[in-house]
Structure formats: C-alpha cells, structure tokens
Structure 1
Amino acid sequence: MKVTVLGSCAAWPEPGRACSGYLVEHDGFRLVLDLGFATLPRLLRHCPNGTVDAVVVTHRHSDHCVDLNGLLRVRHYGERVLPRIPLLCPPDVASVVDTLEPRPRLAELFDVHELPGGRRVGPFQVDGIALPHHVPNAGVRLTTPGRTLAYTGDTGPDPRLAELGADADLYIMEATLQAEPAPGEPRNVLTAREAGEWARRAGARRLLLTHFWPGSDRGVSLRQAAETFPGEIIAADEDLVIDWLGRPRH
C-alpha cells in the first residue's frame, strides 16, 4: 500500500498547496480519499486523464469534495472513454456536487454507494464510521491483507476514533487546531494534541497529521501531537509519499 498526499490544508489552500486529498495505491488499484480545492491537478500528475479506480469522499464541505466535479468533467470530456467506478460518500455529497452544473451528473459516471457502511472495492475492504462534524462525516478504514489505513475526515473528539484507527499501520488524522478550545465549546474538529491522544488510544503505529489551518506552524502541531502519541508522527505535505518499505519521501 502506498499513500500520496495531494493536499493538506483546511478550509482553503495556501499558495502552492491544496486542501484534503490522498491517493492510495495497492496492487495496481488506485483509490482517492477526498478531493478538496486544488487536488485535481496534483492527482492528474499521477493519474493522467483521471484514470483512478475508486473515489471515497468523507463529507460535503468544499475543501473535501469540490474537485470531484473536476474529476467528473475529466472523465466525461477527456481523451479516453473510461468505465464507471465506485464512489463512496454520504448521500449529501452527490447532491452538493450535482448542483454545480446540470450535466453530467455523478451517477452517469460513478456507481454511488452510501457511507457510513462497508463494501469491498478492488483489493480494499472499505468501512465507514459516522463521526461528529458540522455536517454528516464518515471516517474511513481501508484494509488489505496485512495493512490497515484509517482516515478521520473532519471530526470532533469521539470514542469511535479509537475504533476507526484500531491497530492501523497509518492513521491520517485531522489536526485543525493548535490552541486548546474553551471548556464546553462545541467540538467539530481536533487539536493536534487530541489527534495524538486518539491515535495512541487506537494503538496506531504511525500518525499522519493533516488538515492544517492556513498559516499554522506545522512544527508546532508535530510537537503537540508528540506530547500524547509515542510513535512516529508525520506532517502531511503536498506530494509526500508514504509506503511501508521505507521512510516518507517526496
């Protein structure tokens, strides 16, 4: 299994960066997790003409799903005739993307399946778990023989984070905040320290912090997460490649 970071920003992309998006490859099968602002050009460098095999989108916020419309256009108008592929997402994702233009509709090019839920997609068992956010959000767990990747999407603190990331080889966790929120404040995103704590409770082997608020010092987030997580911690960076044969590389 190999993971390429397409984007790592929350809300909007900093110059030269993109919002949430990850390309996951295993045995020649290419699955995309989220397609936020500016992820599509980076994806097309790895998958010309949008030749991916499946897409999973955690929720309808534009920093996680807007470039799904771009992928739809590439596969509809592009140079190659491509087969329909699975799209796993909460039901409101397709509704939001389809409001951008009348045609083509997502269901014309994708087999749309609802998250949360479980489904076999190529070599991956894909399982979704509902997690708290401003809108319906599904954390995603990808399993192949011998490897497990977990991804929170966007989430507040919740005991299900330990279930989602249980014994994961790589846990991709949003770490939007650095300052501790006020007590009693409604929680729909995590601090870096909380990401480390939930990864520790899950027994994850490796933690990838992502969804950094624009302008944040990512070194601070790494140090905060290290206060609660004893394993290897990586800050997501555009074009970073993580495989299980060596250290992260660009």
Structure 2
Amino acid sequence: MRRLTVLGTSAAHPEAGRAASGFLLEHDGYRLALDLGYATFPRLLHHTPATGLDAVVITHEHPDHCADLSALARARYFTTPRPVRLPLYCPAGVVRRVQAMEPSEDLHDVFDIHPLPAHATVHRLGPLRLESAALPHHVPHAGVRLSAPGLTLAYSGDAGPGPALTRLAAGADLLIAGATLCGTQAHDPRLLSAAQAGTTARDAGAARLLLTHFWPGTDRSLPLAEARRTYGGDVTAAEEDMHLPL
C-alpha cells in the first residue's frame, strides 16, 4: 500500500475537529510521519501505534508543526521494553523546542536525530530518498522531497515561495503546499499563498497539488479557487483523515 493520510491541516492552532499540520506517508509497509503539530498524535494512533513508525521528518520548530513530537516521544519512552531509537530528521531548533517540554526524559533516548536541511546530502529512509533544502520562513525551515521508484512527493511545510521550493517540487507526483495566505491578506515572503502554491506547482511541473495549512476560520473554497487560477492540474484541499493513494 502506498498512500498519504492527512492528520491535520490547520495553521497556527487547531480548530474544533481539526488538528495542526501533520501527515502519515505509507510506502509498502514503511511508515513515516511528516510534521506532528498540535493534536496530530491522537489521529496518528488511529492508523498506527506509536511503535509502528519507521521515521519522522519535521520541517521546523513552530509548535503547530512539532508539538506532538513530544507526545510521540513520551509514548515510546514509557513503552516496555523501550523500542529502538526512531530516526528523526529535523532542524536543530525542533529538538531544543520539544526538549524544553521534557524536564526528565531525554529525546536522544528515543530518537536517532539527523539535522535538516542537509543540502547536497541524500538520506535513505527505508525505500525512500529524503532530500531537503532551506526555505524562507520566520525560523530555520527545511523543505522536503521524498522519492522512490514511481513516486516523488514534495512538501513546503510552512515556508514561503522561491526557487528552492520549485526545485524540490520539480516533476513531483504530489506537491503538498501551504495555503496560509489568500484573498486580500498581506503578502509575506516567508509564507505561501494559495495562488503561489499553484504557481509553484505549475512551474515545477507537479502532477497534483494538495493544499494545506489553512488559517483558522478560512472558507477553504477560496484558496482552492485561487490555486486553480494559477495551476491547471489536479488541486485538492486537505481534510483531516483524508487518504490519498500514491
């Protein structure tokens, strides 16, 4: 089975019935969590136990993308016997932020930590190749490209637009892109608008675009319409518990 499960779609903080940013990527039995923001961990447990993951990738240290890494760490820390350390790929700020919530449990006892972005380095995660690049945001941020034979997935996290993101998404089967800004909201080079997500998908030649990271209260038909004005391919608005075959 090769599929992407949406764990959460909200920017900044969860809404009722929704979680912040998070995804579960499954590739022929290999399970990877991609961001674990507020309220994503209980949703993750509907699909796999805490010990069922093979790796975690976190794009940056904002808690709407990493807060529930703490919950995952505690679940694995207190499992008896404790499982082997789980590979964790993330910027250094993620470890500092989450460790600050753990006065007695050391994250290094739970995770085998690898820094992102790794620039020219390609990491092997089971069947997947992980490539990363620094993207513009308010804090150090890693954009992500995951690939295997017949599959390429790119993820913008919460970053702004630019050539690095377009390169990461080049020829992708699926681009997961933030749609934080839409309508009359002010332009911010450190955040992605729905229209810019569409432009990036178009310029990168991505086959499909999945919009996520919606500001709480947003009518999601609006970012969908804006992305479709700049990109003629398949555009979908992410919803919690959505499954996308890959």
1:202 to 198, 201, 204: 204
The alignment's TM-score, normalised by the length of structure 1, stands at 0.94
Q: Which residue of 2 aligns with 1:54?
A: 55
Shift of 1:65: 0.2
Output the amino acid matched with 2:210.
Answer: L
Output the amino acid matched with 2:47.
Answer: H
Output the amino acid matched with 2:105.
Answer: P
Q: What's the secondary structure of 1:107's corresponding residue?
A: helix
Q: 2:206 & 2:50 partners in 1: Cα distance?
A: 35
Q: 2:37 & 2:174 partners in 1: Cα distance?
A: 21
Q: Which residue of 1 aligns with 2:190?
A: 188
Q: Is the CA contact 2:6–2:242 (under 8 Å) kept in the aligned structure 1? A: yes
Q: 1:204 & 1:21 partners in 2: Cα distance?
A: 21
1:235 to 227, 234, 237: 237
What are the ranges of 5 or more consecutive residues in structure 1 without an aligned counterpart? 245-250
Q: 2:100 & 2:106 partners in 1: Cα distance?
A: 9
Q: Is the CA contact 2:20–2:37 (under 8 Å) kept in the aligned structure 1? A: yes
Q: Which residue of 2 aligns with 1:73?
A: 74
1:125-204 paired onto structure 2 within 5 Å: 125-182=129-186, 186-204=188-206
Q: Which residue of 2 aligns with 1:16?
A: 17
Q: Is the CA contact 2:180–2:193 (under 8 Å) kept in the aligned structure 1? A: yes
Q: 2:104 & 2:236 partners in 1: Cα distance?
A: 40
Output the amino acid matched with 1:60.
Answer: E
Output the amino acid matched with 2:94.
Answer: V
What are the ranges of 5 or more consecutive residues in structure 2 without an aligned counterpart? none
Seen in structure 2, the aligned counterparts of structure 1 residues 199 and 16 have a Cα distance that, compared at 3 Å, is same
Q: 2:13 & 2:171 partners in 1: Cα distance?
A: 31
Q: What's the secondary structure of 2:139's corresponding residue?
A: coil
> How many residues of Structure 1 are paired with residues of Structure 2 in the alignment?
242
User: What's the CA shift string for 1:102-142, capped at 9, x where partnerless?
Assistant: 22221111110000113111111001110000000000000
Q: Is the CA contact 1:50–1:71 (under 8 Å) kept in the aligned structure 2? A: no
Q: 1:127 & 1:49 partners in 2: Cα distance?
A: 25
User: What's the CA shift string for 1:40-59, capped at 9, x where partnerless?
Assistant: 00001111234211000000
Q: What's the secondary structure of 1:149's corresponding residue?
A: strand
Q: Which residue of 2 aligns with 1:213?
A: 215
Q: 1:168 & 1:100 partners in 2: Cα distance?
A: 36
Shift of 1:79: 5.4
Seen in structure 2, the aligned counterparts of structure 1 residues 104 and 197 have a Cα distance that, compared at 3 Å, is same
Output the amino acid matched with 1:30.
Answer: R
| Runs of 4 or more above 2 Å deviation | 78-81, 179-182
The alignment's TM-score, normalised by the length of structure 2, stands at 0.95
User: What's the CA shift string for 1:42-83, capped at 9, x where partnerless?
Assistant: 001111234211000000000000000000000011355322
Output the amino acid matched with 1:199.
Answer: A
Output the amino acid matched with 2:28.
Answer: D
Q: What's the secondary structure of 1:40's corresponding residue?
A: helix
Identity among equivalent pairs (%): 53
Q: 1:240 & 1:144 partners in 2: Cα distance?
A: 22
Q: Is the CA contact 1:194–1:225 (under 8 Å) kept in the aligned structure 2? A: yes
Output the amino acid matched with 1:83.
Answer: V
Q: Which residue of 2 aligns with 1:248?
A: none
